[in-house]
Amino acid sequence: MIDTLRLTAEEAAGLLERGEVSGKDLARAYTEAIEARDDEVHAYLRVTGESGEGVPIALKDCITTKGVETTAGSRILEGYVPVFDSTVAARCKEAGLPLLGKTNMDEFAMGSSTENSAFGPSRNPWDPERVPGGSSGGSAAAVAAGLAPWALGSDTGGSIKQPAALCGVVGLRPTYGTVSRYGIVAFASSLDQVGPITKTIRDNALLYRLIGGRDPCDSTTVELSEPVAIPDAEDLKGVRIGIPKELNETEGIAPGVSEVVQASIRLAEELGAEVGETRLPRSVEYGLSCYYLIAPAEASSNLARYDGVRYGHRAEVDGDLTALYERTRWEGFGAEPKRRIMLGTYALSAGYYEAYYGQAQKVRTVIKDEFAAAFEDFDVLVSPTSPTVAFKIGEKAENPLAMYLSDVLTIPPNMAGLPGLSIPCGLSEGLPVGLQLIGPQFSENLLFRVGHALERVLGFDYVPERLR
């Protein structure tokens, strides 16, 4: 009997390698778990249930899969069956990882709860009345509920780190440029990155190793500066950990979340890390505003392609081509993409460009420089991943600005193109709390090392209490 709630991807690979379990039996264990639990969790938009030689994987629905419907959580792409594979899907295929299914997400990755999915929200496996976070909430919920051994998500403002935190699993947003965006449904191209969501740090490193590296189809990718090391460190001797004051004390961080994060920082100190305080004064105060100008501006351009001509939804109209575009787009997009398209269009329009988009790009330089200064004294920076634990479904759905604040701690490092790892570090109110580890560009190996050493001493049980 395979316990999918407990089994890590690394353990699953071991079972396959030693011939103790067949690929078919392994995939069946997951499809049975999906049948048993996904009516409640709704992690998947569609289940393919393939089996093969490797450890099966779930992919977020913005990851293009040849022959398998890919909607990015939007009605405008309902029924779209891609004729090509994204590079990450192709790399999973080449490594023999069969596709379990496509996971739910906020429409076009715009959201922090999956409530913006056109196909209904996913639910948090720790408490089904609560959101799993977003936008990669389906992938995080699938891993937490034992409905996939591992999964891929995508992260623009925090869409891997925040749902990983809220579901009690590990999520890596890699350095910008290390994972190909070819075939990823685009939201904001200077920020979008694909990354792994897993139960353990070692699983995360194994999956990152498989998807990372330069891709000729995406000229913004680079070769990894060093091979991915699967971590086994037990101490943190010689690691300098900085606590950026603003990223740990900004308004809105729940006291329960702070307590758990501070306790894990003390553990890091016991493991030999040198801990000190640092500052990111303007990155936190201006990061959210900067992001909500740059990301919508890029989105307004990227989402111009949905025109009802070549693929996706087309409205019935009597008028001319412009009328077709306008009605198709109003009908096909949900409220949040429309809001962001209009916001971005406004920020880029004549007369406002300099004050909004141009100014935001300069703020981005300020953020980059502040992080660079902090990394002169520290190797890794830490903070809570999300200011709160998982919130109730519906709690923020009607208030976009309140929802945007869910990413206030993940956005600043993203603006600087930095990698971030969220690891579960304890419970508050019976719900998981995530610790965000931020490193300089291309420091994934160090993040894995620190994460792994902490994971061992934290002893966090990733199986949701109600499912044990």
Residues marked active site are found at 60, 135, 159
- The smaller minimum CB distance to another protein, of residues 140 and 186, is found at 186
Tokens of residue 212, six digits? 């990372």
CA distance 259 to 324: 54
Beta-bridge partner residues of 154: 194
Contact 125, 167 (CB under 8 A): yes
- Computed on alpha carbons and rounded to an integer, the radius of gyration of the chain in Å comes to 21
Kindly state the smallest distance separating residue 449's Cβ from another protein, in Å: 23
Q: Which two tokens stand for residue 309?
A: 């001509």
Give SS3 for 266: helix
CB of 303 to another protein, least distance (A): 9
**Nearer Cβ to another protein, position 13 or 84?**
84
Strand-by-strand arrangement of the 380-384 sheet: 44-47, 99-103, 57-60, 150-155, 193-198, 170-173, 420-428, 431-438, 380-384, 240-244, 274-278
Tell me whether residue 356 or residue 462 sits nearer to another protein (CB atom). 356
Q: Which positions touch another protein (CB under 8 A)?
A: 79-81, 83-84, 176-177, 190-191, 216, 219-220, 222, 282, 285-286, 288-290, 292-293, 300, 304, 307-314, 317, 319-327, 329-330, 333, 338-339, 341-343, 345-346, 349, 355-356, 358-366, 368, 400-401, 415-417, 441
As measured in angstroms, the least distance from the Cβ of 253 to another protein is: 19
Antiparallel, parallel or unpaired: β 170-173 and 150-155: unpaired
State the minimum distance, in angstroms, from the CB of residue 128 to another protein: 29
CB of 317 to another protein, least distance (A): 7
Beta strands, E only, 90-176: 99-103, 150-155, 170-173
Minimum distance from residue 296 beta carbon to another protein (Å)? 9
Q: Nearest to residue 348, comparing CAs of 313, 413, 297, 404?
A: 297
User: Is the backbone of residue 19 left (phi > 0), alpha (psi -120 to 50) or beta?
Assistant: left
In 411-468, alpha helices (H): 411-415, 444-458
Beta strands (DSSP E) in 156-270 are 170-173, 193-198, 240-244
**CB within 8 A of 182, min separation 6: which ones?**
86, 87, 215, 217, 218
Question: Strand runs (DSSP E) across 156-291, as ranges?
Answer: 170-173, 193-198, 240-244, 274-278
C-beta closer to another protein: residue 82 or 137: 82
Q: Is 167 left (phi over 0), alpha (psi -120 to 50) or beta?
A: alpha
Work out how close the CB of 371 gets to another protein at its nearest, in angstroms, rounded to a whole number.
11
Q: In terms of CB distance, is 306 or 460 closer to another protein?
A: 306
Cα angle, residue 104 at apex, residues 103 and 107 outer, rounded to 5°: 135
**With the CA atoms of 102, 105, 107 and 109 taken in that order, what torsion angle do they form, in degrees rounded to the nearest 10?**
-110
Contact 383, 436 (CB under 8 A): yes
Q: Which is nearer to another protein, 87 or 264 (CB)?
A: 87
CB of 87 to another protein, least distance (A): 15
CA–CA separation, 333 and 19 (whole Å): 47
DSSP β-bridge partners for residue 427: 432
Helices (H) and strands (E) counted in the chain, each on its own, are: 15, 11
Q: Is the CB of 417 or the CB of 434 nearer to another protein? A: 417
